Structure 1
Amino acid sequence: MAAAIKLRSYFSATGLKAAASGSRNGAQARRLLALAAIYDGASRSEAACIGSVSLQVVRDWVLRFNASGLSGLIDGKAAPSQERAPHRACARHRGGSNPGNPLRRALAHRRSLPMAV
């Protein structure tokens, strides 16, 4: 088993608890409290229970905390998706807007038939 990744040495459990109580971000506060438990001597498994996550997620939090400090535990916003207008040819292949599509005609015919029991 690999050794646990060390937390930053210049933070303390009381400092993280104070930061958690002042945080307006609930997810960040939960992460800070889990890391504060590690500073207090709790195992990573106990920190995972406090944060309601797996050990791998606690490891990820430690890496983010070590790299970026308190702000590393705030969820970042995902980049906005760039929606493109669908290409006209795509609708034909999906059977969307082409009423002459043989598959569409076959399915329309099938819906009009009574169901066999």
Structure 2
Amino acid sequence: MASAVRLRGDFDADRLRALARGAKDGPQARRRLALAAIYGGTPRSKAVRIGGATLQIVRDWVLRFNAHGPNGLLDRKAPGPASLMQDAHRTALARIVEEGPIAAVHGVVRWWIVDLCQWLFDAFRLSVSETTMSRELRKMGYRKLSARPRHHAQQDGEIEVFKKISPRGWRRSAAKKASTPTA
């Protein structure tokens, strides 16, 4: 049977319990209390019950605590899968977005996300979803923008002529004269 992993020496049970009291994250406080029990001499099998985990998980907590201190016991976001797109793909994508589509070559007059996904597949045999393409474009600093439509016959200055000047909505009413009683 392997020996238990030792806890780091710069903490003790009282200090870890105090940190657990001040923790805003419930699971982190529970982990700190389980490790404080180990510092206090409690067998790890009882610390497992305090932490609500298994021996292997408590061992993982000890390793995280030894490496990163009390903040190492916070829940971390899972890293997820690595990106399919490499820097070479991003560089080529930025170049083609900046140049814009050529209608005769690309078959479109402006880029849509689905068109960029198809271009990436045609150029690199790399298949990504529209969501992934949108996320990658946002990371590269691009935003989904469309030009506001403008009528072909619209001339500069015509808009100002067309605008109507409306009277002010609220005006002070004329002063009323005191009514005189009629008999």
Q: Distance in 2 between matches of 1:13 and 1:38?
A: 8
SS of the aligned residue for 1:58 comes to: helix
Residue in structure 2 matched with residue 84 of structure 1 by the alignment: 129
RMSD across aligned positions (CA)? 1.9
Residue in structure 2 matched with residue 17 of structure 1 by the alignment: 17
| Runs of 4+ that moved beyond 6 A | 80-83
Q: CA deviation at 1:65?
A: 0.2
Amino acid at match of 1:84: S
Amino acid at match of 2:75: D
Residue in structure 1 matched with residue 142 of structure 2 by the alignment: none
Amino acid at match of 2:130: A
Report the structure, 1 or 2, having the larger helix content: 1
Residue in structure 1 matched with residue 28 of structure 2 by the alignment: 28
Q: Distance in 2 between matches of 1:38 and 1:79?
A: 30
Deviations 1:88-113 (A, max 9, x none): xxxxxxxxxxxxxxxxxxxxxxxxxx
Matches of residues 1-117 of structure 1 in structure 2 within 5 Å? 1-79=1-79, 84-85=129-130
TM-score, with length taken from structure 1: 0.68
Change (3 A) 1:6 1:80: closer
Structure 2: 5+ residue stretches without partners: 84-127, 132-183
Change (3 A) 1:57 1:80: closer
Q: Distance in 2 between matches of 1:79 and 1:59?
A: 21
Q: Distance in 2 between matches of 1:80 and 1:7?
A: 30
Structure 1: 5+ residue stretches without partners: 87-117
TM-score, with length taken from structure 2: 0.44
Q: Distance in 1 between matches of 2:50 and 2:75?
A: 18
Percent of residue pairs bearing the same amino acid type: 55
Q: Distance in 1 between matches of 2:3 and 2:43?
A: 13
Q: Distance in 1 between matches of 2:6 and 2:21?
A: 24
Q: Which has the higher contact order (CA 8 A, sep 6+)?
A: 1
